């Protein structure tokens, strides 16, 4: 399992608890800025030496993974994209007893790699995923996760495909990739920024990151993902640390919203069990499914004992769900929860963020309650908004904060930093 001393995968650990067993430094300053020509919405992952690994989204350079020196920010090595530049999510870093070192596991839609921290490729294999539409770029791959009891790697994609691989060889463990049964999500485009704002932002993104080979601008693409955009899976997924189970937040079946139109208006959290199949392969069984109205902006976060899963809905609820996908409790915080809940390994502490606040929710077993709400107004002369998932550390909760100016109903981020919130009283 990844050690919780740094971010070895998308949300710290394979069950997405966003917790690090280290203290945050009491004072920080900017050390370096690197690779400003890349847009990097996921990652980076960090090895034990402090080196960074990230996958840029739609780069103008044919790279799918970039390794940087943690001290200087200088580029150490890269892996190719082979034209598959739609991004591949956060990388996974594991200690490998067989190699007596850390290994980087990385995947695009079409190819998966195992690489040493110095860039030596141990193996590379095709994922078995095929994208036949030559007029559009392949779907996004949401990074690599780990199933400990099978010693296996997993990949989930934006169009609802799931593939499994042997960690030591990269051999496919499924006879063919699994396809989630949901339909593309309904597109809530009325809620996203106005077209004039999107056009300005697309132009600014093109000036900074270049014009990627895509049918729409970068900002338009990202807001499309946030507001539905016809995708089945729009966030990372969780691996249960104690069983052969994956939790994936996606869309429900087409007909479950009352009409068959190849569009799903319901979100769903799937519990997928990996079971033995014929010919030495495995298959995925849908053990249970939890449907909810609208979508979710969070990955499923699983407790260390695998008995509860936490997610949010679009109505301001944090929802605790049992292992058999039955709702245990929900707490409405009075505002939209964004990003993913961070789960403390002790005392039932859960931290979530809204646009302007960070909130602590206490899990009392069969009930939950709001413990406190902390305002994050830290940038004089600007509004302050949350920019990313909270991260639990030994001495507080680290939160990324953006400084914004408002134009109409749009908040435009002018700068970004982070702060440390004391978990006892919610003070910054």
As a whole number of angstroms, the distance between CA 398 and CA 173 comes to 38
| Per-residue pLDDT at 66 | 97
The pLDDT tens digits for 72-120 are: 999 999 999 998 888 788 999 999 988 889 999 999 999 999 999 999 9
* Rg of the Cα atoms in the chain: 20
Encode pLDDT of 380-412 as tens digits: 889 888 888 899 998 889 989 999 988 777 778
pTM, entire model: 0.93
Residue pair 300/16 in contact (Cβ under 8 Å)? The answer is: yes
Summarised one tens digit per residue, pLDDT across range 173-215 is 999 999 999 888 776 666 677 888 888 889 999 999 987 667 7
Span 247-283, pLDDT tens digits = 999 988 888 877 888 788 888 999 999 999 999 999 9
SS3 per-residue string spanning 8-21: CCCCCCCCCCCECC
Q: Which of 349, 164, 239 is nearest to 10 (CA)?
A: 239
Q: Which residue has the higher pLDDT, 35 or 218?
A: 35
**Nearest to residue 342, comparing CAs of 373, 372, 298, 380?**
298
122-160 b/e with 16+ CB inside 10 Å = b?
Answer: beebebbbebeeeeebbbbbbbbbbbbebebbbbbbbbb
pLDDT (tens digit per residue) in 348-371: 899 999 988 999 999 999 999 999
Cβ atoms of 163 and 110 within 8 Å: the answer is no
Instruction: Could you list the beta-strand ranges (E) of 294-322.
Output: 301-302, 308-312, 317-322
Is the pLDDT confidence value at 289 over 80?
Answer: yes
Mean pLDDT in residue range 218-231 = 76
What does the pLDDT read at residue 418?
A: 83
How far is it, in rounded angstroms, from Cα 345 to Cα 20?
Answer: 10
Phi, psi (5° rounding) for residue 339? 60, -160
So what's the pLDDT on residue 294?
Answer: 67
- How many CA atoms, within 13 angstroms, populate the side-chain half-sphere of residue 271? 20
Residue 295 has pLDDT above 70, yes or no: no
> What tokens were used for 413?
């981020």
The Cα 371–Cα 381 span in angstroms is 29
Q: Is 236 helix (H, G, I), strand (E, B) or coil?
A: coil
How many angstroms from the chain centroid is the CA of residue 235?
5
Q: How far is CA 117 from CA 3, 50, 122, 164, 278, in A?
A: 16, 11, 11, 23, 36
How far is 62 from 235, CA to CA, in rounded Å? 24
Residue that has been written with the tokens 């430094």 in this structure: 25
- Give the start-end residues of each E strand in 150-192: 152-157, 161-166, 178-179
Per-residue pLDDT at 84 = 87
Tokens of 188: 């809530």
Quick count: other Cβ atoms within 10 Å of Cβ 388?
18
Segment (H or E) for 283: strand 282-293
How buried is 61 (Cβ within 10 angstroms: 0-12 exposed, 13-18 middle, 19+ buried)?
middle
For residue 173 the two structure tokens come to 């463990």
Cα–Cα distance, 98 to 228 (Å, whole number): 42
Could you tell me which residues come within 8 angstroms of residue 209 by beta carbon, excluding any fewer than 6 positions away? 37, 38, 39, 58, 59, 60, 218
Confidence category of residue 332, pLDDT binned at 50, 70, 90:
very high
pLDDT band at 124 (very low <50, low <70, confident <90, very high): very high
- In 323-423 the beta strands, taken as DSSP E runs, fall at 327-332, 338-343, 349-353, 357-363, 368-375, 383-386, 391-393, 396-407, 410-421
End-to-end CA distance of the chain: 32
């Amino acid at each position: 399992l990844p050690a919780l001393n740094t971010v070895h995968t998308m949300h710290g650990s394979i069950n997405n608890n966003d917790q690090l067993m280290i203290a945050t430094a009491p004072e920080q300053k900017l050390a370096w800025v690197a690779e400003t020509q890349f847009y990097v919405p996921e990652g980076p992952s960090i090895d034990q030496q402090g080196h960074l690994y990230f996958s840029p989204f739609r780069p103008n350079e044919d790279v799918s993974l970039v390794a940087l020196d943690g001290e200087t920010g200088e580029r150490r090595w890269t892996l190719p994209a082979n034209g598959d530049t739609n991004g591949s999510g956060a990388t996974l870093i594991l200690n490998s007893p067989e190699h007596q070192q850390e290994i980087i596991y990385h995947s695009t839609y079409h190819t998966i790699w195992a690489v040493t921290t110095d860039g030596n490729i141990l193996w590379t294999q095709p994922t078995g995923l095929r994208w036949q539409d030559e007029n559009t770029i392949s779907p996004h791959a949401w990074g690599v996760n780990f199933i400990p009891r099978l010693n296996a790697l997993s990949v989930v994609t934006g169009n609802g495909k799931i593939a499994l691989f042997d960690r030591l060889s990269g051999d496919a463990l499924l006879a063919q990739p699994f396809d989630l049964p949901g339909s593309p999500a309904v597109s809530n485009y009325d809620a996203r920024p106005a077209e004039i704002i999107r056009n300005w932002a697309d132009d600014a993104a093109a000036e900074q990151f270049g014009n990627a080979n895509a049918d729409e601008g970068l900002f338009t693409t990202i807001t499309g993902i946030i507001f539905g955009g016809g995708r089945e899976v729009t966030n990372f997924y969780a691996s249960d640390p104690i069983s052969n189970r994956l939790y994936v937040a996606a869309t429900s079946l087409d007909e479950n919203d009352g009409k068959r139109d190849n569009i799903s208006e319901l979100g769903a959290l799937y519990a997928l069990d990996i079971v033995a199949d014929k010919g030495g392969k495995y298959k995925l069984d849908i053990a249970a499914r939890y449907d909810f109205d609208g979508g979710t902006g969070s990955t499923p976060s699983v407790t260390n004992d695998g008995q509860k899963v936490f997610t949010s809905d679009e109505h301001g609820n944090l929802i605790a769900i049992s292992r058999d996908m039955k709702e245990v409790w929900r707490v409405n915080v009075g505002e939209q929860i964004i990003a993913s809940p961070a789960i403390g390994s002790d005392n039932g502490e859960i931290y979530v963020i809204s646009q302007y606040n960070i909130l602590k929710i206490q899990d009392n077993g069969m009930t939950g309650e709001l413990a406190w709400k902390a305002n994050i107004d830290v940038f004089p002369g600007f509004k302050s908004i949350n920019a990313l998932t909270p991260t639990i550390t030994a001495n507080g909760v680290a939160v990324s904060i953006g400084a914004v100016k408002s134009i109409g109903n749009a908040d435009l981020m002018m700068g970004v930093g982070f702060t440390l919130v004391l978990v006892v009283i919610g003070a910054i």
